[in-house]
Amino acid sequence: MRIVLAGGGTAGHIFPTLAVARRLRTLLGDDGADLTIVCGARELDRELYRGVEFDLFPIRVRGIVGVGFARLPARLWRLGVSTVAVWRDLGARRPDAIVLSGGYVSVPVMLAGWLRGIPRLIFSGDAQLGWATKALAPLATVATVSFREAVGQLRGPRVEFTGYPLREAFASPDRDAGRFRVGVAPDEPLVLVVGGSQGAHAVNAAVARDLTHLLDRAAVVHVTGRGDFEWLASVRESLSPDRRGRYHVHAFINEGFADLMAAADLIVTRSGATAVAELGAVGTPAVIAPGAFGAGHQIATANAVAASGAAVVLLEDDLARGELASTITDLLADAPRLDGMRSASAARGRPDAADAVARLAIGLADPTCQAATA
Instruction: Report pTM.
Output: 0.86
Architecture of domain 169-348 in this structure:
3-Layer(aba) Sandwich (3.40)
Average pLDDT score, the chain: 92
Reported as a pLDDT band with limits 50, 70 and 90, residue 221 is very high
Mean pLDDT confidence for 175-195: 94
Spatial separation of the C-alpha atoms in residues 117 and 127, rounded to whole Å: 29
Residues recorded for the chain:
374
Reported as a pLDDT band with limits 50, 70 and 90, residue 295 is low
pLDDT for 130 beyond 80: no
What number of other Cβ atoms are within 10 A of residue 176's Cβ? 11
pLDDT tens sequence across 35-92: 999 999 999 899 999 999 999 999 999 988 778 888 889 999 999 999 999 999 999 9
- Sign, Cα dihedral of 21, 23, 29, 32: negative
pLDDT tens sequence across 229-248: 999 999 999 999 999 999 99
Highest mean pLDDT among 31-45, 54-68, 145-159, 286-300 belongs to: 31-45
pLDDT value for 16: 95
Which residues of the chain does CATH 3.40.50.2000 include?
Answer: 2-166+351-372, 169-348
H runs (alpha helix) in the chain:
11-28, 43-49, 72-93, 106-116, 131-136, 175-182, 201-209, 211-215, 226-237, 241-244, 257-263, 273-282, 297-307, 316-320, 323-332, 335-348, 353-365
Contact 224, 192 (CB under 8 A): no
Spatial separation of the C-alpha atoms in residues 170 and 130, rounded to whole Å: 25
pLDDT value for 272: 86
Q: How many helices (H) and strands (E) does the chain have?
A: 17, 13
Spatial separation of the C-alpha atoms in residues 104 and 321, rounded to whole Å: 34
pLDDT for 156 beyond 90: no
Amino acid at residue number 286: A
CA angle (302 as vertex; 300, 306 as ends), nearest 5? 115
Cβ density class 52-75: b for 16+ within 10 Å, e for less: eebeebbbebbbbeeeeeeeeeeb
Q: Is residue 185 exposed (0-12), middle (13-18) or buried (19+ Cβ within 10 Å)?
A: exposed
Mean pLDDT confidence for 96-108: 94
Architecture of domain 2-166+351-372 in this structure:
3-Layer(aba) Sandwich (3.40)
CA-wise closest residue to 357 among 111, 31, 98: 98
Contact 227, 196 (CB under 8 A): no
Reported as a pLDDT band with limits 50, 70 and 90, residue 160 is very high
What number of other Cβ atoms are within 10 A of residue 129's Cβ? 25
Spatial separation of the C-alpha atoms in residues 253 and 99, rounded to whole Å: 26
CA-wise closest residue to 351 among 305, 255, 283: 283
Spatial separation of the C-alpha atoms in residues 318 and 335, rounded to whole Å: 23
